[in-house]
Structure 1
Amino acid sequence: MRLRSLLFVPGDSERKFAKAQASGADALILDLEDSVAPSQKAAARAHVASLLENREPRGWSFFVRINALDTGLTLDDLAAVVKPGLDGVLVPKANGAEDITRFGHYLEAFETRAAMPVGSVRIAVVATETAKAMFALHTYAPAHPRLAALTWGGEDLAAALGATENREAGGWTFPYQVARTQCLFAAAAAEVMPIDTIHADFLDTEGLELDCRRSRRDGFLGRMAIHPDQVATINRCYSPSEAEIAHARRIVEAFAANPGAGTLGIDGKMVDIPHLKAAQKTLASI
């Protein structure tokens, strides 16, 4: 499952869904949570369920962000959307791996009811939206079999902390830098995809590009988006360049030709086993 770009789409908007399908995003996240007013939850749930009935081939993965466990809406959401065509759920406001185990049991029951292969619906987690969650990031390793990705969010965490701001000139304030970094570490420990959070100013294309390049430099493999116009930039920034692919191939081929070597000279620089692992990851992302 390729997840460079994951575009949020309000679950109650047919117009926005139609536009999102043409965006080129690797995944669409049909949202039943924050972008849907309480009075529209049932209508959004029914709309998303109807979209899953369309069995035409698609070039993107179908995710649904369901409502958090403490809302009383979770089981209704899952009952409506766990059906053939659903690729994954995005779990908001998770407090640790215990929540994912619980979701795994729910999904197994609903998959069985829908005559789907058990385990076919993957899970991505917004892992930093509560203060409690920040002390449980280590629990995601070893990963639940369904866990595909960890991502983070600053807005709900800011509300939980009572912050007046979570950004300043140059980026996130310190508490949210910690959340971002800890999410990256947790994903690496669990050996799942680290996905960076949204860039809220969808008109700021220059800032988005800069942030994406920094993010990929640090180790994130993809990013969530809130507007179709952000997708092309995200896809480009989280895809290896031709030069990076060629360099990775040279490293992999050199070690394959010298199986007993721990260090080799390539392109005028010394490379070792960590460089080989990085090259293998680059080639795996193509």
Structure 2
Amino acid sequence: MRSLLFVPGDSARKFTRACESAADALILDLEDSVAAEAKETARRETGTMLQAPRGRQKLFVRANAFDTGLAAADLAAVMPHAPDGIALPKCDGPDQVRRLGHMLDAFEAAHGLAAGSTQILAIVTETAGSLFGLGSYRDCSPRLWGMMWGAEDLAASLGATTNREGGALLSPYRLARDLCLAGAAAAGVVAVDTVATTIDDLDAVAQEARAARRDGFLAKGIIHPKHAELVNAAFRPSEDEIAWAQRIAQAFGSGANLGVMKIDGQMIDKPHLTAAERILASLGTG
């Protein structure tokens, strides 16, 4: 999954449009995009969306944060319909992932779903306190698929007036981005870049996505269907990259356990092999 499109959980019209997009996954949102008085309606609508015929897209649901008191009701409404995953907002640390994992254990058992089949995407930088535990997610739950960072709620938590100037992230948010990337790598899960909020500036969206892939992110959240193909293209290896990766893999495959070798005039060692294997593995995602 490279592109994860947020869809308001109370909008059947936007869900239909999202299903026609190039997004690899949809995140049906019960949190920020749904007004307080519409939460129950959104749960019912999201349940209906989950019952639609499944295509190639994965369907996640973003529940409300634990501190709202709404998360259990959200899960009770959607888990009978077997979402592919749950996005956990305002995640303060690995204990919340464990808590969600235990709840999913119970819901899966109650509804006859395969144990462990529901993945978790933790949104891990939306509170000030969350930044201090981003290196501690390893082994917190086998369900944890990815860690995503976010800047909008973090700005509110910090009491900031903005998170960008001239289109560039300010220092606290670059820190959050980098810590999420490092934390996901340490945990062995997918690092997911935050959404681009410039809906109509497609060049900015593409630039953000290319920068994310360059730095090591493997996916990006999006808020509009027209962003999906831009993000997919940014995360798709070029022909030159694929050819390089194939040469590295082939050389190490016939290298009689050599630790270092010279390829195209450059010293190549095991970290390069890891990068090559990552490129080749990504070909299966399109």
Q: So what's the TM-score if we normalise by structure 1?
A: 0.97
Q: Which residue of 2 aligns with 1:124?
A: 121
Task: Say which of 278, 282, 286 aligns to 2:279.
Answer: 282
Distance 1:10 1:123 in 2: 19
| Cα deviation, residue 268, structure 1 | 2.7
1:239 positional shift: 1.2
Q: Output the CA distance in 2 between the equivalents of 1:274 and 1:50.
A: 46
Partner of residue 40, structure 2: 42
Q: Would the alpha carbon gap of residues 143 and 191 (structure 1) be closer, same or farther in structure 2, given more than 3 Å must change?
A: farther
Match of 2:193 in 1: 196
In structure 2, C-alpha distance between the alignment counterparts of 1:146 and 1:239, rounded to whole Å: 26
Is it true that 1:242 corresponds to 2:232 in the alignment?
A: no
Is the aligned partner of 1:156 residue 2:153? yes
Write the distance in 1 (CA, Å) between the matches of 2:140 and 2:249: 28
* Deviation digits for residues 193-216 of structure 1 (CA, Å, limit 9, x no counterpart): 000000001101111111111111
Determine if contact 1:143/1:191 at 8 Å carries over to the other structure.
no
1:230 aligns with 2:227: yes
TM-score of the aligned structures, taking structure 2 as reference length: 0.97
Question: How far 1:143 moved relative to its partner?
Answer: 4.3
1:89-108 equivalences under 5 Å are 89-108=86-105
Q: Is the 8 A contact 1:142 1:189 kept in 2?
A: no
Do 1:66 and 1:89's aligned partners in 2 also have CA atoms closer than 8 Å? yes
* 2:257 corresponds to 1:260: yes
CA contact (8 A) 1:28 1:61 kept: yes
Q: Secondary structure at the match of 1:261?
A: coil
Tell me the SS of whatever aligns to 1:138.
coil
Do residues 180 (structure 1) and 166 (structure 2) align? no
Unaligned runs of 5+ in 2: none
Corresponding position of 2:139? 142
Quick one: percent identity of the two aligned structures?
48
Contact 2:30–2:61 (8 Å) recurs in 1:
yes
Residues 171 and 229 of structure 1, relative CA distance in 2, 3 Å threshold? same
Q: Deviations over 1:243-262 (max 9, x none)?
A: 21111011001100113211
Aligned to 1:114: 111
CA RMSD of aligned residues (A): 1.0
CA distance in structure 2 between the partners assigned to 1:209 and 1:167 by the alignment = 17
Q: Counterpart of 2:136 in 1: which secondary structure?
A: helix
Aligned residues: 283
Number of the residue aligned with 1:12: 10
Matches within 5 A, 1:71-82: 71-82=68-79
Structure 2 CA distance, aligned partners of 1:33 and 1:57?
23
4+ runs deviating over 4 angstroms:
none
Q: CA deviation at 1:84?
A: 4.5
| Structure 1 residue matching 2:192: 3-state secondary structure | strand
Instruction: Report if aligned partners of 1:143, 1:192 keep a CA contact under 8 Å in 2.
Output: no
How far apart in 1 are the matches of 2:17 and 2:62?
A: 19
